[in-house]
Chains A and B, each alone.
Chain A
Amino acid sequence: KAGVTQTPRYLIKTRGQQVTLSCSPISGHRSVSWYQQTPGQGLQFLFEYFSETQRNKGNFPGRFSGRQFSNSRSEMNVSTLELGDSALYLCASSLEIAGGGSYGYTFGSGTRLTVV
């Protein structure tokens, strides 16, 4: 079956612009999480969506936002881009099983965002 698809794969933006990244989860997965990865900070949790509702949010400024559609596809938006927003943005989906306790997430290959 198809994995988690993230588009675009690479993106170059200018400071002050905004950007929208897209994530299509594995079919049937309703939970989508977003992460930012930089060499200095490692993998940092941005937010998680489940059934179109944001369920968890990491410690990022309000310039970072997201949403999830009824087909579970998710988008994240970063407004007023800063040089420090240059990073690999990763999306992960999971199949929630009540009582499963599992962290069996599937990650996409990410979107490499460069802010110049």
Chain B
Amino acid sequence: LAKTTQPISMDSYEGQEVNITCSHNNIATNDYITWYQQFPSQGPRFIIQGYKTKVTNEVASLFIPADRKSSTLSLPRVSLSDTAVYYCLVGDRDRDDKIIFGKGTRLHILP
């Protein structure tokens, strides 16, 4: 799995758009970029995954530049319930059979 770097924590306010950036300079050709969300005392929840350009689902968007050395998770109009830890993972499931989680980004949404 490629090493990832993301901010330890972030604060934002309800209704704002939040962008969390993840750096992965040594991403390999077949690696996918996956984001998980975790609330206290719950298991991580798959949010979004992408390979290149932009991916959007009902929860978030994922922006990946052409060089793929970073990615940005975008959460539109956050609410208090978006307060959680967000993990960025980069790897190829066919090569790496296990997920290695980093420390993640602790997002705190303020009223």
Contacts and interface: CB of A to CB of B under 8 A. Distances in A.
Interface of A: 4, 33, 35, 42-43, 45, 48, 50, 55-56, 58, 88, 90-92, 94, 96, 98-110, 112
Contact of A101 (B43, B45, B94, B102): B94
Contact-residue size bin, chain B (C-beta under 8 Å from the other chain): 20 to 34
The B interface, classified by DSSP as helix, strand, loop or mixed, is: loop
Contacts, number: 70
Given A43-B87, A104-B49, A105-B46, 19 more contacts: A4-B43, A42-B102, A43-B101, A48-B97, A90-B43, A90-B44, A92-B43, A92-B44, A100-B93, A101-B31, A101-B32, A102-B34, A103-B91, A104-B46, A107-B44, A107-B45, A108-B43, A109-B41, A109-B43
Given A42-B103, A43-B44, A90-B43, A102 B98 contact: no
Interface of B: 30-32, 34, 41-46, 49, 87, 89, 91-94, 97-104
Chain A interface mostly helix, strand, loop or mixed?
Answer: strand
A13 B30 CA distance: 44
B98 A48 contact: yes
Contacts of B97: 48, 50, 55-56
What are the 7 closest A-B residue pairs judged by CB atoms, nearest first?
A107-B43, A43-B101, A103-B34, A90-B43, A56-B98, A56-B97, A45-B98
Nearest to A92: B43
Given A109-B43, A112-B41, A103 B103 contact: no
B42 A101 contact: no
Given A101-B30, A101-B92, A110 B43 contact: yes
